[in-house]
A and B are shown apart, each in its own frame.
Chain A
Amino acid sequence: MGDSMQPDDVSRRHFLGYTAALSAVSLGGLVISRGGVAGAAIARPRSETSPKRRSPGAATGGSLTVGMGSVIDGLTPFAIQGYVWSQMLGFVFYDPLIKKDSDGNLLPCLATEWDTTDPLKTILKIREGVTFHDGTPLTAADVAYSIAARADEELIASTAGRPIMTPSQWVSAEAVDDLTVEVITTERVEFLVNPQPVLIVPNDSFGSVNFANEVLGTGPFKLSSFTSGTGVDGVANEEYWDGRPPLDELSFAFFADPATASTGLRSGQVDALYDVAPLNVDAVSDVPGTTLTEAATYAYWWILQMGKPPLDDPDVRKALRHCFDIEAMNNASFRGKGTHTWNPFTLYPGGEDGPDIEIEYDPAKAKELLEAAGASDISVPILCIAGYDDGIAAAQVLQQSFEEAGVTCEVEVAEASDWLDRTYTTGTWEGITFNAGNLPFPSKNFFDYLVNPAVIFSDYKEGDVVPEAAELYRSINATAFEDPAIEDLLLDAQNMIIDDAIVYFAFGAPVSLVLPENLTGVVSNGFGDVEWHKASLA
């Protein structure tokens, strides 16, 4: 290399190389991704792709790895963050007091009987012969402590327990004898059916057990290892009160989000997937050797700010119902796989058959009705929660329709903490917002989720029909829900609510489980509770 380089030579070559490289990269990318669409359809045995499993042996040898689209930092059973923990990991390592079946009935778990006739005193009978993972027997004192850890002010502060009642409602939880607990409150509190149930730990154990990284529960699996943010491994609990689980090992791998979890299944990192959102179903429906089952119904529902104009006028609310382009919103949110209802109570399994109404999408009609109501120049903003992409997509469809009907509409996406602040804490929000989640059980809680927010979030006026409906619902005791006399009351309330457009419809779509074909015995009650302790590999 004797010749010195001239700057001009370099720049020209630089440019040539730049263009060549750019074209090569884009062409290559296009070709590969084009070919990729076809390539994905070719079945590929998973063992040839990336057979990295954390536990030895293939899926047929008694060990299973499940992927989850969310990350767990700690195993603490007190601070239950959402369904993933309370319905999944909680039930793997710990036991709750009661469980629910697919009809919505309550089943005994660690509590064999419960007496809620006295609203201020709940009496629980504890199951005999249960032991914790270290061999110590379960007694009423443990249950009392576990309940207090999520209700007592000071205990909550140190355990970071998610409260199941307020300090003013809480009095005490006492072990009356070895197998009986009395929980005393100042008013009726439905803590037994709290969607994030109390998980039972040994008495006085916070402080001596490092619950963030260790497990001391009664559940079907014992902890074998935990890597924060990455995954957790469990081994079968030989002494489990309901029988040793058939599986030897059960592991969970965490992914940052559901889309990434799907790729984990495709590449063979995990054998199964939990909590597959409707939007991600297409990505995992064709993986060989697996089946897709529905585990829960994920829904989002629209909540109206009825305490402020313009939505405080029932005529305005009824007019705006014609702006919902169900088909387009379904496509945008769930690729057309969702179901909707204007009567929220028919959307989940075991729900009541209330009046089912259909409302036509007709923005022109909405515009007319608005004019008739003297509200032709209104503004209805839509507030979305960041991260709920399906709701955000639907909000954009809705915005277009609102604009067509002559309504000014702005979509805003707020972070969860901001949204919480504006809706629950300060109540400064306006217009329409939505909340979302896996549908809970049963109707009473349903009311809590769909109708109550409309009531809670808005400052409804005196004499409004809403308080009557709310009163009606509050008088229903969830644990005495099976009482047929209540059905009429429910129907009345539903009619009231729907006629006055207090609730805008809910959209639901199945949340799926992807399981290996040779895995049987997984119990899923349709509400998102998935139990693995009867699962076995053929």
Chain B
Amino acid sequence: MRRVRAWFGRQPLPLVIGTAMLLPFVIVAIVPGLVAPHDPLSIESLPLEGPSGTYWLGTDEVGRDLLSRCLYAARNDIFVSLSSAFVAFTVGTGLGLFAGYTGGRVDTLVMRLVDVLLSFPTIVLALFLIVVFGRQQWVQVLAIALVMMPSMARFSRGTGLVLRNRGYVEAAKLSGASRWHVLRHHVLPNSLPTLLVAASVLASSAVLISASLSYLGLGAQPPDPSWGNMLRSAYGVVYEAPLYGIGPGVCVTIVSGAYVLIGEGLRRKYRTDRNVAKGAVAVEASVGVL
């Protein structure tokens, strides 16, 4: 027990705090029924009631409990943000590392393809996909992943370039190792900390982008709740129920902030590379503040 506590104490503070902030949401996402006081889909009361003893955050425009909807929304938003970040991370990193490490024409071609994706306005890409394929969850995940993937590719390409010239890589190449072997056993492990930080940034952006898409009406379908579409409804009733938007807004901010803190913590933990800080922010910047 004491060893566990000691281990905790050695972790950077942001990492601990971030994880502490995220964990409740992850739990709620997995078993919302344990925490939510009411059924998020059942219409129990008059619409747009203020906070009360039974409905802590009041009711929505149809008459459902806002608090329960906020909590159940975690299911959609946490899942979408994590999975799209994962997809963007793996595909983007793979592409970028490969391009950066290989160099030459392959590098240029891959980067130009990435540029094509990057120069599409985010919304258009997501809009297209959703209108064509429908509003199911996997389409949202795909759309968000496609939007974030290019920046990840760009960033990891830089890392690939840098690492190409590092000593251990040269040594491995001299000893006759194949390109794949070098990539897997040398480049990847050494760039992983940097990339992990970038991944946390991706996750934080994913939450925001997913909320934005839901705000524009492209996210979860009614009656399923998501923080973004709750904020959309909140904006429509801002004079009748100004407190509506507080709950979902705070949730998005906390989750997004949690990811950022975790990233910050990871940066402190793997403080081997000065480029990690700049890189993380570069990824942040290129994913965009949506």
Contacts and interface: CB of A to CB of B under 8 A. Distances in A.
Interface of A: 7-8, 11-12, 14-15, 18, 22, 26, 29-30, 33-34, 36-37, 40, 259, 262-263, 266, 279, 282-283, 328, 331-332, 335, 384, 386-387, 389, 392-393, 395-397, 399-400, 411-413, 415, 418
**Interface bracket on B:** 35 or more
B106 interface: no
Contact of A15 (B13, B223, B242): B13
B239 A262 contact: yes
Contacts of B47: 331-332, 335
A165 B221 CA distance: 37
Secondary structure dominating the interface of A: helix
B243 interface: yes
Contacts of B61: 332, 389, 393
Given A33-B243, A418-B131, A11 B42 contact: no
Interface in B162-203: none
**Which 10 A-B pairs rank lowest in CB-CB distance, beginning with the nearest?**
A283-B239, A33-B242, A396-B223, A332-B62, A259-B236, A393-B62, A11-B13, A396-B222, A36-B242, A282-B240
Contacts of B264: 11, 14
B285 interface: no
B240 A283 contact: yes
B246 A30 contact: yes
Interface of B: 12-14, 17, 41-43, 46-48, 61-63, 131, 135, 217, 221-223, 233, 235-240, 242-243, 246, 250, 253, 257, 264, 268, 271
Contact of A386 (B217, B233, B257, B268): B217
Contacts of B246: 26, 29-30, 33
A11 B12 contact: yes
A22 B246 CA distance: 13
Given A37-B242, A332-B61, A400-B41, 5 more contacts: A7-B268, A12-B13, A259-B235, A331-B63, A332-B62
B183 to A, nearest CB: 32
Given A11-B14, A395-B222, A396-B222, A389 B43 contact: no
Contacts of B257: 18, 22
Nearest to B235: A259
Given A14-B14, A400-B41, A413-B135, A40 B239 contact: yes
B43 A412 contact: no
A382 B239 CA distance: 30
A408 B31 CA distance: 25
B174 to A, nearest CB: 37
Contacts of A12: 13
A196 to B, nearest CB: 26
A259 B244 CA distance: 15
A34 B243 contact: yes
